[in-house]
Chains A and B, each alone.
Chain A
Amino acid sequence: RKEVEQDPGPFNVPEGATVAFNCTYSNSASQSFFWYRQDCRKEPKLLMSVYSSGNEDGRFTAQLNRASQYISLLIRDSKLSDSATYLCVVNHLTGNQFYFGTGTSLTVIP
């Protein structure tokens, strides 16, 4: 079973739409959770960390559900510039390794 699983999409949404991505993780010992954004032919960059209480950064909201072992990312009022691949990342504090999902592709359409 994969450590981290994401729906690859693609998600094609109109400008202004709200879109949500989910990511499930298999190891209940996972301690740190992140969403990264990767533009085409570029390196991944941190979008936001995910905290147990949930957190918001402008139009982006991340939530963690430990009982069901998933994290989510909600994007409100989508912009053309949000078009990218969104990577879910998990870390077990028992080791130094980070586990990446395969990414969810988002295209925001004018």
Chain B
Amino acid sequence: DVKVTQSSRYLVKRTGEKVFLECVQDMDHENMFWYRQDPGLGLRLIYFSYDVKMKEKGDIPEGYSVSREKKERFSLILESASTNQTSMYLCASILDRAGEQFFGPGTRLTVL
């Protein structure tokens, strides 16, 4: 059974804190993605990675960075959390671009 896991389901942080969101997949997929989902805006791509140590900016990379040191793990970093980064964060992985994206359960982040 394929699986994408995320380190936390719920997270509450304070403005200015550094926040790490971890994502791990067990499917040996090359491609991994970080999205945020907000009401009325849908899923928006923050960053994606198509190989270890490779990363590309998505539509809304400002205020975020990522790390992919191992194939199975893709981390999203909020360097200095702000209230407008309160959102649901979803990680996904995919074998190839014509195939199915497998999502993690999501992390609901609240920044106070």
Contacts and interface: CB of A to CB of B under 8 A. Distances in A.
Contacts of A97: 45, 48, 58-59
Contact of B105 (A42, A49, A87, A93): A42
Interface stretch (A11-19, A58-66, A71-79, A100-108): A100-108
B103 interface: yes
A93 B41 contact: no
Interface string B30-62: 010101000011111100101000001011000
B97 A93 contact: yes
A91 B33 CA distance: 14
Contact of B97 (A43, A45, A91, A100): A91
Contacts of B45: 97-98
Contact of B90 (A32, A43, A91): A43
A102 B42 contact: yes
Contacts, number: 50
- What's the dominant secondary structure at chain A's contact region? strand
Given A43-B103, A43-B104, A96 B40 contact: no
Contact of A43 (B48, B56, B58, B105): B105
A46 interface: yes
A36 B43 CA distance: 12
Given A8-B40, A97-B48, A102-B42, 12 more contacts: A36-B101, A43-B90, A44-B43, A45-B103, A46-B101, A89-B101, A93-B97, A96-B50, A96-B97, A100-B44, A102-B40, A103-B42
